[in-house]
Amino acid sequence: MQSGMERSVEPREFELPLELQFSMRKAEIAAQEMTWEELYSALLNLYHQRLMEWYAVKALMEDENISLDFDIPTDIELAELAAACIYDDEDDDEDELQPF
């Protein structure tokens, strides 16, 4: 018999509730029709929404005297990440155009 410390945790596939599966499929279909700029904007909007939710949760927890620290990337770090992704995409496109 294994103790709690020795027991390995096997990764499990996360299964969404049915109503979220429908929402996810609807989002996938909508995303297929979007341009890269629209996808980028939607991603930034989603990030902003989740960031505000984290701040709200943190404020609620602080009201209950629970300290929660988490690292949130700065706007500069996000801009650098976006620029790096765009730069990588441009490099990939150039590589595809040159057969040798």
pLDDT band at 88 (very low <50, low <70, confident <90, very high): low
The pLDDT, as a whole number, for residue 100 is: 45
A 10 A CB-CB count for 40 gives: 14
Cα gap 35→2, rounded to integer Å: 52
The pLDDT, as a whole number, for residue 70 is: 65
What's the mean pLDDT when you consider all of the chain? 76
The pLDDT, as a whole number, for residue 1 is: 47
- Give alpha helix (H) positions in the chain: 18-32, 36-63, 75-97
Residue 36 Cα to chain centre, angstroms = 16
pLDDT band at 24 (very low <50, low <70, confident <90, very high): confident
Cα gap 57→67, rounded to integer Å: 11
